[in-house]
Amino acid sequence: MDPEINGLPNPTRDRLLVGIPTDEILNLQVYDALGQPRSVVRRGQELDVSNLADGVYWLTARLRGGQIWTQSWVKY
């Protein structure tokens, strides 16, 4: 069964909560509108995105079992 996957809240100001169990996540990466990877601090299922400029970003997660999940989200 696939884990429930979402990033909330969307839009967000300073943190993004990832609805994927931590033990299912192999890698999380945030990309900007130009496709460049951006550095964020991860604490379990929470990402601190306060250092990012306002704009549209993509969160990509590689999961155990080989699944890749991507969601766009807005930082304001």
24 is a domain residue? yes
CATH classification at residue 46: 2.60.40
**Among 51, 39, 49, residue whose Cα is nearest residue 16:** 49
% helix / strand / coil in the chain, to the nearest 5? 5, 50, 45
pLDDT average, residue stretch 8-28: 91
Write the CB contacts of 65 (distance below 8 Å, at least 6 apart in sequence).
none
Confidence class of residue 1 from pLDDT cuts 50, 70 and 90? very low
12 is a domain residue? yes
When divided into structural domains, the chain yields a total of: 1
51 is a domain residue? yes
2 is a domain residue? no
Domain that includes residue 71, residue range:
7-75
1 is a domain residue? no
Q: Mean pLDDT, the chain, as a whole number?
A: 91
Confidence class of residue 48 from pLDDT cuts 50, 70 and 90? very high
